[in-house]
Amino acid sequence: MSNSEKKSQGFRELDPLLHSALRLAVVSLLAGVRSAEFSFIKEKTGATAGNLSVQLGKLEKAGYVEVSKSFKNNYPCTTVSLTDKGLSAFGQYAENLKTYLTV
């Protein structure tokens, strides 16, 4: 089925940035807590540190998350926070996905 056929049947376009499994997992995790440490996200998603860093960079570039670096007990600590734009994009993605599930 082509994109134009899907749109004519009421299918809504899915945000390609959130259509990646890892990026979707990160945003959905953050939607519940709004902010989390890198190590927590890494543990919950099962991602490698390198892959998670790359995907967080893409989300940050889009304005969906903010990444801040600090020190906690003299150790580097990276914290990721979901922005209002990211929360809105996640909500819209979920709504658009429903059009595919109710066919």
CB atoms within 10 A of CB 44: 13
Q: What is the pLDDT along the chain (103 residues), one digit of tens a residue?
A: 445 444 446 788 999 999 999 999 999 999 999 999 999 999 999 999 999 999 999 999 999 999 999 998 999 999 999 999 999 999 999 999 998 888 6
Question: Which residues 6+ apart lie within 8 Å of 60 measured at CB?
Answer: 66, 67
Domain residue extents for the chain? 16-101
Question: What CATH fold (topology level) applies to the domain 16-101?
Answer: Arc Repressor Mutant, subunit A (1.10.10)
Question: Which residues 6+ apart lie within 8 Å of 8 measured at CB?
Answer: none
Amino acid symbol at 2: S
